[in-house]
Structure 1
């Protein structure tokens, strides 16, 4: 069993909003940050394909504990696709499978883009990181093995057509985490009878952060001295959650695993309703725990979802 790496003095705790460039994989970007900036405890909240650019939430240090609460958030994308062809990867970077004439109108294209909002499930692309019996589907596809068809539920909360210049079109879509935009485009091409492939994709937002908070990879790597200033501190990584600063005695209770009572007076400390989620800060204002209001002994209490104190 390998020895646990000692925490580097350069290690930050929080979230970096990265504007991933098109080309490298999400893992490539994280590896550069990890090794060049000595951020050995690192993760991300939602993979972007090599073709895609835009918001990639990079979790650092104790920020990696936020994975379940950032990864599942709604994503917003703008993208373009080309009608009249299909590829094995469902995007322009794959091997061409078919080519067809395009005999459709701009109105036809807009109708099919807007139809995405009616979809409740989609087929997972064969070239994806989704796994079957422990192996990623892309590994099976590259090895020439049969790739099982996997269907997953999706939620499309917003969709709009931005432009149509046949055979290409552009769009904006907001969707549930894990939605494959390549598959949305592929399904559109099938419905239109001529095929379609994704040609560009940019993630504008991975809630709760957008491109306005993002840094370019080159800027991050070329200016290591300012890297800590680019990292959103742990206490500010869930701005849509209420924060409660506790007294020193209450902080000690939480660190011992105690569920604190939910206050039913709006505006008061620890106020909330069943199902609410919040971040607790200790008496010094440091992140202490993520909590959710649940019933215990028929009384609403703040249950501890994840402790944020302690050393790596």
Structure 2
């Protein structure tokens, strides 16, 4: 069953319910696993549910490996209502009669596929002069927001019933689904807000792989540890570099060395396939250790 007193290092995939904050879910998972450190690789608003990728112990050193990964969501829009925050948590600020056809909706979705310039929501954590935008919005202050280039790789209509629209979206880092919902509503001329959101994937991780906090609580500490993925799962998309024992020992001591590898960031392993850390290979073939797994 494994040593339940050993340090907890790994990746935990949680199916977050709508309601609690991402940090509340993170802290509960950390406690259930008995981990010394924990962090997630991308927050979900309290309203949102779905996949939350949690790094525990030494895995927190490498969570940056998927911070830039694409994500996918299932979203529900309510047409004809705009809210203060762009989602169901905010007060309704306008009502408009909805006279939208399916063909008009499909045309609007087509307009937002590909690379687009997106204006972040007023209620977002993006900083302006050191303060998040939502801090200004809550005080009724309007500050300039710069549009950001994001990529909508897939945008598919899944449901259209009355004033409710369900769609699936796969997008790049930094895409606000709330802003996308509002933009689609504006394109249709009736306004809209994000009524519900579920994150379906983060990089290589998908929601069916995840477990709930309730399921974790129902099993033993040893069984909880068995739900962990190895921390190198965070680096699946990275080029892999395997070192022979003498070089592996030098790498673990933080020494640079010449290697036969293309330049760029690499996930480094020993000959026994044991993960050692991450490094950077320069144009001359010199490997510089950047972040090392603590010696066990």
**What is the TM-score normalised by the length of structure 1?**
0.85
Give the C-alpha shift of residue 230 in structure 1: 0.9
Q: 1:294 to 1:157 in 2, by over 3 A?
A: farther
Q: List per-residue Cα deviations over 1:244-275 (Å, max 9, x = no partner).
A: 44333111221233344343xxxxxxxx4334
What does 1:77-226 correspond to in 2, within 5 Å?
77-225=73-221, 226=223
CA contact (8 A) 2:152 2:171 kept: yes
2:286 is aligned to 301
CA contact (8 A) 1:189 1:195 kept: yes
Q: 1:132 to 1:231 in 2, by over 3 A?
A: same
1:241 corresponds, among 238, 242, 246, to 238
Is 1:33–2:29 an aligned residue pair?
yes
2:255 is aligned to 258
CA contact (8 A) 1:273 1:293 kept: yes
Give the C-alpha shift of residue 309 in structure 1: 2.8
Q: How many residues align?
A: 292
Write the distance in 2 (CA, Å) between the matches of 1:282 and 1:77: 37
CA contact (8 A) 1:43 1:58 kept: yes
Write the distance in 1 (CA, Å) between the matches of 2:142 and 2:166: 33
2:278 is aligned to 290
Gaps of 5+ in 1: 1-7, 264-271
Q: 1:118 to 1:284 in 2, by over 3 A?
A: closer
CA contact (8 A) 1:290 1:305 kept: yes
2:229 is aligned to 232
**What is the TM-score normalised by the length of structure 2?**
0.90
Give the C-alpha shift of residue 141 in structure 1: 2.1
1:267 is aligned to none
List structure 1 runs of 4+ shifted beyond 4 angstroms.
Answer: 8-11
Write the distance in 1 (CA, Å) between the matches of 2:129 and 2:206: 35
Q: 1:36 to 1:17 in 2, by over 3 A?
A: closer
Q: Secondary structure at the residue paired with 1:40?
A: coil
Write the distance in 1 (CA, Å) between the matches of 2:98 and 2:27: 42
Deviates more, 1:120-129 or 1:188-197: 120-129
2:47 is aligned to 51
CA contact (8 A) 1:55 1:210 kept: yes
CA contact (8 A) 2:32 2:216 kept: no
Q: Secondary structure at the residue paired with 2:199?
A: strand
Superposition RMSD in Å:
2.2
Give the C-alpha shift of residue 208 in structure 1: 1.2
Give the C-alpha shift of residue 9 in structure 1: 4.4
Gaps of 5+ in 2: none
Write the distance in 1 (CA, Å) between the matches of 2:103 and 2:267: 47
